[in-house]
Amino acid sequence: MLIALIVSLLCPCIWSLDNGLALTPPLGWLTWERFRCQTNCKDYPKNCIGETLIKEMADVMVSDGYKDAGYEYIIIDDCWPASKRTSEGRLQGDPERFPNGMKALADYIHSKGLKFGIYEDFGKKTCAGYPGSEFYLKMDSQTFADWGVDFVKFDQCNADPHDMKYGYPVMEFFMNKTGRPMVFACEWPLNNLVKKIKPDFAAIRKTCNMWRNYNDIEDSFDSVLSIINYWAKDPYNMSSYAGPGGWNDPDEIIVGDFGLSHDQERVQMGMWCMFAAPLLLSNDLRNIRNSSKALILNKRLLAINQDPLGIQAKAFNLGYVQVWTRSILPLGSKAVAVLFVTDHYPGKGGNYIKVTYPLSIYGITDGKQYDITEVFDGHSMGTHNTSSILTFNVNPTGIFMFTVKPV
């Protein structure tokens, strides 16, 4: 009750999309980064975009604890449709790879207690060349509702960039008219960025539950770092538009894939939680390192990500480290992340850096006593006040995270 009141006072909900969804960042799994547009099921039977992959992932989401941790959306990205619409003009799944149709797949996912997400594109064709929704917005919204879709990722390829500000709200209108609540994940600001048009974040937030602002993530730390450094610049004040009902989306979680070291996986997971970002895993949950799985399921990290205030962290540089802070509940608390990688110092040397500053440097300036807790393993760092010195080490391309809560 009190939390609801606080959230309603602090958050920008009033001007957010009013579909009752994504009051905290959506958690789930998405095909794209790991499985791309693999349609060759003969050579890649376990990894092609088809109902086998999706059902197996849904099974593992439940059996291995991801659902219990809060991950609920299972989302198919591009390359699911047949190359042609039906004779009535409806979208249909590829008949070879989705032999039972999309409704049956949605039913299977729902039977597991999970939610079903799908992909389309505002343009004439999707990015990979499948039928797009241009001129079919109403029919496609209804098709998705009829199938039981809970989440729509809506891309921006093969469309006129000046149409985004009309097309996305019209799609949202038709989705709303179906009466089925569906999370609306937009790529509208990404398109604006590519075309060097200033994104209208107020309009975007009114239309979308989450929105991609930057390039697709790839399986490398350079890619992760480019996103973090873009978020650090906070272009167009984008952080001020994040909050319950609508979120900046830095793209998928690649923890458990091939490109990151353990420290770098901690950086991605930690920072996406600091960002109040949707956590859409794009990895193979059927075959994942224990250390990666533990990060994805880390309760203290997820509590920061899902904090009801939904405040996106902001950054400042401090010597050779980059510091991120965000306010969390209970009131007066903060989460802090310190990265040994900044935009002016790559932090890729061989040794850790010792970071030693008074608590006040992290924005704690009153006279109270605070409990400090390291986030990844949960160990207590003791009780501190504003002037006491906090000391810790950060590995190259690594992260240190702690919470500061009033005693």
Ligand X SMILES: *[C@@H]1O[C@H](CO)[C@@H](O)[C@H](O)[C@H]1NC(C)=O
Q: Is 392 helix (H, G, I), strand (E, B) or coil?
A: strand
Q: CB of residue 311 vs ligand X: minimum separation in angstroms?
A: 12
Kind and range of the H or E element at 221? Answer: helix 221-233
Nearest partner of 173 among 209, 201, 137, judged by Cα: 137
Residue 47 Ramachandran class (φ > 0 left, ψ -120 to 50 alpha, else beta): alpha
Tell me, what amino acid is at 405?
K
Q: How far is the CB of 2 from ligand X (least distance, A)?
A: 25
**Cα pseudo-dihedral 214, 220, 224, 226, rounded to 10:** -60
Q: Which is nearer to ligand X, 179 or 350 (CB)?
A: 179
Neighbours of 316 (CB within 10 A): 14
- Tell the smallest beta-carbon distance from residue 366 to ligand X (Å): 9
User: Among the options 94, 121, 150, 155, which is catalytic?
Assistant: 155
Rama region for 356: left / alpha / beta (φ>0; ψ in -120 to 50; rest): beta
Closer by beta carbon to ligand X, 35 or else 201: 201
As measured in angstroms, the least distance from the Cβ of 83 to ligand X is: 31
Distance CA 324, CA 315 (A): 4
DSSP codes joined into one string, 271-309: HHHHTT--EEE-S-TTS--HHHHHHHH-HHHHHHHT-TT
From 160, 216, 263, 284, active-site residue: 216
Told to judge if 307 belongs to the known catalytic residues of this protein, a careful annotator would answer: no
Judged by CB, which is closer to ligand X: 97, or 334? 334
In terms of CB distance, is 31 or 141 closer to ligand X? Answer: 141
Nearer to ligand X (CB atom), residue 131 or residue 256: 256
Q: Is 155 labeled as catalytic in the residue annotation?
A: yes
Q: How far is the CB of 290 from ligand X (least distance, A)?
A: 4
CB of 184 to ligand X, least distance (A): 9
Q: Within a 10 A sphere around the Cβ of 396, how many other Cβ atoms? A: 17
Question: DSSP code of 128?
Answer: T
Site residues, ligand X (CB under 6 A): 18-20, 176, 179-181, 237, 240, 290, 367, 385-388
Pseudo-torsion of CA 207, 212, 213, 216, nearest 10°?
-160
Nearer Cβ to ligand X (131/246): 246
- Nearest CB to ligand X, comparing residues 195 and 289: 289
CB atoms near residue 86 (< 10 Å): 10
Q: Provide, rounded to whole angstroms, the least separation between the CB of residue 288 and ligand X.
A: 10
CA–CA separation, 196 vs 185, rounded Å? 21
**Any idea which residues carry the catalytic annotation?**
155, 216
